[in-house]
Amino acid sequence: MKIDVLLGLQWGDEGKGKIVDVLTPKYDIVARFQGGPNAGHTLIFNNKKFVLHLIPSGIFREKTINVIGNGVVLDPAIFLDEITKLEESDIHLEKNLYIANKAHLILPTHRFLDAANEKKKGKLKICSKLKGIGPTYTYKIGRDLIRIGDISTENFIEKYETLKKLHTDKLDIKEIEADLAAYEKRWFKGIEKLKEFKFIDGEQFFNDALAQNKKILAEGAQGTLLDIDYGTYPYVTSSSTTAAGVCSGLGVAPNKIGEVFGIFKAYITRVGSGPFPTELFDQDGENLQKHGNEYGSTTGRERRCGWLDLVALKYAIDINGVTQLVMTKADVLSYFKTFKTSSSYTKNGKIFDYLPFEFNNDLIPNYNENKGWEIDISEKVKYDEFPKELKDYILKIEDFTKVPISIVSTGADRKNIVFK
């Protein structure tokens, strides 16, 4: 058996949470392989809405085991908040949520370092979600961090204090003392909560599961254009958001990767700073934001909106070896008489049909216009019921990318889904 992957092909928020939830009944195990609480994955069903940050999106299906994998960075305080909220909805996860021993811990001081780094950058700030992601991965690579497995060791507190000192030396401690003490209190409460869960040797667990023909889905966070190596650096996150990240993040070999579901919005959005050639500053952009409800699920920040960038989509497909595409938010385009897609860029008179090293807003998109369908598609249950204009749009994307679109999402609810 192989491990399937679902990951974002844009700048995040493509609808990964919803689609993982839809696909979960086909899987025995769902696992997060990278990122941390900077993720915000929304699931809507039975008139209820959940936003998950650290916990995989397979938790609402009772038979599935969910794993926070080795490549994830975990903040116990946020974990505690998330578990508490779920318990308030009578969802108890002690039996079907496992945590990998090699996942690293985000320390309270990492959050403060994140804020301090952003402040120093001034206008050049990344607009990080300030969950401590950058500093935590920096210290992980610097080999100065503690992991989930360390929690149950005798000298855990001593290790924690040593690291804390390393960080506070770099911070204006007077300014943050009270906030840090308050956060630390919650953090240690979170450590106690974590102890109620099963810690596993992740790589052993996944390889055993594959040998036993268990079906596994790896759930990506963020998106390919936010990848530390292949994203729009430096305006990226600090982890490997691509299919390669599944191997290092879960401890499985490349030849164990099966289907790669690449998910993208029918247009494109971005939260925070960084280049965005197809960004719209006009009424169309406002309409995408309004009808797509494009506000961050973690921070409520406005998402920048633009037309679908086919060059960037193809780039992300190649990097991940995508075998099937999932298009979300097709319903949002129902509000447009016509809409555009970009299939190359022009810069200084030169045409680019790929992402050049200098990826910036000097790249002027070359647009094609598409005819809209202007009818509500949210109740459609079969591909055959789609209007011709939507089918044409799907064919156009398939033709450009040479990858089939096998799932189309037509609304935020679990029910709004069409399999082709």
- Residues forming the active site: 13, 41
The item of Mg ion, ligand GDP, ligand IMO, none sharing an interface with residue 206, based on CB under 5 to 8 Å by kind, is none
Contact (Cβ atoms closer than 8 angstroms) between residue 274 and residue 232 = yes
Helix 108-121 to helix 156-168 angle (10° resolution) is 20
Q: Tell me, by CB under 5 A, how many residues bind Mg ion.
A: 3
Contact pick of 4, 13, 294, 309 for ligand IMO (by CB under 6 A): 13
Nearest distance in Å: CB 57, ligand IMO: 10
Tokens 């992980």 — which residue? 140
Among positions 16, 32, 102, 167, the unique one binding ligand GDP when judged by CB under 6 A: 16
Partnered with residue 302 across adjacent β-strands are 295
Give alpha helix (H) positions in 196-324. 202-211, 243-250, 283-291, 310-320
Query: Looking only at residues 376 through 405 of this chain, which bind Mg ion when binding is defined by CB under 5 A?
Result: none
Our separate counts of H helices and E strands in the chain read 11, 20
CB atoms within 10 A of CB 395: 11
The residues, ordered by sequence, that sit 6+ positions from 405 with a Cβ below 8 Å of its Cβ are 324, 325, 326, 327, 394, 397, 398, 420
What separation, in Å, do the N-terminal and C-terminal C-alpha atoms of the chain show?
24
We find the least distance from the C-beta atom of residue 17 to ligand GDP, in angstroms, to be: 3
Of the pair 45, 400, the CB lying nearest ligand GDP is at: 45
Sort strands 308-309 and 338-347 into parallel, antiparallel or unpaired.
parallel
For position 44 contacting ligand GDP by CB under 6 A, the verdict is yes
Which of 215, 207, 312, 208 shows the shortest CA–CA distance to 267? 312
Q: How far is the CB of 296 from ligand IMO (least distance, A)?
A: 7
Pick the binder of ligand GDP from 73, 305, 409, 418 (CB under 6 A). Answer: 409
Instruction: Give 315 or 386: the residue with its C-beta nearer to ligand IMO.
Output: 315
Contact 214, 65 (CB under 8 A): no
Q: How far is the CB of 220 from Mg ion (least distance, A)?
A: 11
What's the chain's length in residues? 420
* DSSP for residue 322: -
Specify the residue, 41 or 167, whose C-beta has the smaller distance to Mg ion.
41
Integer Cα distance of 54 and 45 in angstroms: 20
Residue 71 lies near Mg ion (rule: CB under 5 A) = no
Query: Six-digit token pair at 191?
Result: 């450590």
The answer to whether 284 contacts Mg ion (rule: CB under 5 A) is: no
User: Using the rule CB under 5 A, which residue among 8, 35, 37, 40 binds Mg ion?
Assistant: 40
> Is residue 278 a contact point for ligand IMO (CB under 6 A)?
no
**Shortest Cβ 163–ligand GDP spacing (Å):** 30
Candidate residues 5, 6, 7, 14; the one interacting with ligand GDP per rule CB under 6 A: 14
If DSSP states are collapsed to H, E and C, what string results for 187-227?
A: HHHHHHHHCCCEEECHHHHHHHHHHCCCCEEEECCCCHHHC
Q: Which of 12, 5, 10 has its CA nearest to residue 222?
A: 12
CB nearer to ligand IMO: give 80 or 221.
Answer: 221
Closer residue to ligand GDP, CB minimum distance, 39 or 146: 39
Q: Does 40 bind ligand GDP (CB under 6 A)?
A: yes
Selected range binding ligand IMO among 62-70, 218-226, 369-377, 395-403, rule: CB under 6 A: 218-226
Contact 317, 398 (CB under 8 A): no
Q: Which is nearer to ligand GDP, 334 or 341 (CB)?
A: 334
- 3-state secondary structure at position 25: helix
Nearer to ligand IMO, 35 or 365 (CB): 35
Binder to Mg ion among 13, 14, 219, 309 (CB under 5 A)? 13
List 102, 111, 131, 265, residue binding ligand IMO (CB under 6 A): 131
Binding mask 303-342 for ligand GDP (x = CB under 6 A): -------------------------xx-xx----------
* Partner whose binding site includes residue 75, from Mg ion, ligand GDP, ligand IMO, none (CB under 5 to 8 Å by kind): none
Residues of this chain that interact with ligand GDP (CB under 6 A) are: 8, 12-18, 40-42, 44, 293, 297, 328-329, 331-332, 409-412, 416
